[in-house]
Amino acid sequence: MKKIFGIILISMVSSVFSVIVYNHFFYNDVKQEKLPVEKTQVKNDINFQKVSLPTIDVDLKQAAKNSVDAVVHIKKYEENSYTSFRDLFFGFSPQPQGEQIYGFGSGVIISSDGYIVTNNHVIENNSHIEVVLNNEKSYTAELIGTDPETDIALLKIEEKGLPFLKYGNSDLLEIGDWVLAVGNPFNLTSTVTAGIVSAKARNLGMNNRSVESFIQTDAAVNPGNSGGALVNTRGELVGINSMIYSRNGGYMGYSFAIPINIVDKIVKDLMEYGTVQRAYLGIATIDVNDPRAKSIGINSDNGVGVAYVDENFAAGKAGIKVGDVISKINDKPIKNKNEMQEIFIAYRPGQKVKITVIRNNKELDFDLVLTNKNGDTSYIKTTNIDALGAKFEELSSIEKKKFGLSNGVKVKSVDAGKFRIEGVKPGFIIITVNRKIVNTADDIKKIIDNDSNNGGILIEGIYPNGIKGYYAIGLN
């Protein structure tokens, strides 16, 4: 062991001595130089300049302050148990009555005397509707009318001197404009979020709607915001928030509102007639960029193609043909079907309109008188039958032809009452009541009055999908 230790010690001493000798005799002769760095002039043809971006001076405080008191919280109730005529007929015991809240949403006060706009999907299938103001006062609301095709519903509460929002003009909105979304997401009352208009006349392909021309924004909207207000920087109502695009049920950057110019027409019709008075040209349309357009001779970059013409309506009678491209309405250029829908929703049967089409590279003008869905200029009427809790509408000639029927009365809407309890859905076509043919709501009323002593009525009919329905409705 001592021998090994000695060898290690001698090696260490030798190494130190070698370093000392090298530094003394050789190191001073070696020059220390940094590696040369080649300096290269890089020619740059791009002229960079400092740019000062303008400050965005948008004050949204006043718009938010004006809006929150005019946006309400809507609670929808549903009967959770009931005893139907069918249960009594088959001997089932009566069940305790009761209600439970099963839906929340928002609404916008549009008049000082209590008219409120919301979405149809917020209030549909309710037994009753509760409206809560921002000051926490609560009211039971009356349902004035609904329009599922635009997802608009109109409510009324009995109160005076309410704060309300004035209408703006949604046509004047531009992409990039600031807007506020006001509502009650997740039951968080009076919530305001901000964003910009991202797109206009947006179509989402909702098959249950005939009218789609949404304002798209990036203002955060979540469940509970439906039916709430979209307002501009002046605090004017420019849209009713309707839906979001989401993969998880929450906000993902896209929200959509119904333009107030569409809402205005729907609300006025519901107030005055109880249903929307729609004007028809009697054509089926197709976007010119649709791959199917060329098959019917359409070759254009802008406008709306005509894919079908019903000769019994205004367009066919005036001479508009399949393959024509509608380029203007009342001299206003249109780009696609969405813009055309938004324009036509403002019209009623009997009104005149100028249609410009392109045919064989030439412009042709047609002056038309618009009709209702039956092909005439009268207004469609709905009739409410309180005993059934529903509103009814006469079946059009087109609907009779479509379903192969010679008579019938359509269920326009269902409120709390007998029809709701028995499961009768809107759109159901009543063909007979107590084996008697019906053509109008008055026919149904007469049968109810004459047969009321029987304790009930038997209704037979068909749904638009072809499924037949039979309902026994108790009247006592």
- Which amino acids are annotated catalytic? 121, 151, 226
CA distance 215 to 180: 12
CA distance 114 to 108: 10
CA distance 230 to 219: 9
At 468, the amino acid letter reads K
Q: Are 224 and 190 in contact (CB under 8 A)?
A: no
Q: Are 400 and 409 in contact (CB under 8 A)?
A: no
At 98, the amino acid letter reads G
Q: Are 94 and 83 in contact (CB under 8 A)?
A: yes
Q: Which residues contact 345 (CB under 8 A, 6 or more apart)?
A: 150, 211, 262, 265, 266, 278
CA distance 379 to 277: 6
Q: How far is CA 313 from CA 135, 213, 309, 361, 377, in A?
A: 51, 25, 8, 25, 11
Neighbour-count burial of 335, counting CB atoms closer than 10 A to its CB (0-12 exposed, 13-18 middle, 19+ buried): middle
Q: Are 224 and 184 in contact (CB under 8 A)?
A: yes
Residue spans of alpha helices (H) in 26-101: 61-68, 85-89
Determine if residue 225 is left, alpha or beta; phi over 0 gives left, psi from -120 to 50 gives alpha, anything else beta. alpha
Structure tokens, 99: 């209600």
Q: Which residues contact 124 (CB under 8 A, 6 or more apart)?
A: 146, 148, 153
Structure tokens, 259: 């333009």
CA distance 238 to 230: 6
Partners of residue 414 on adjacent β-strands: 390
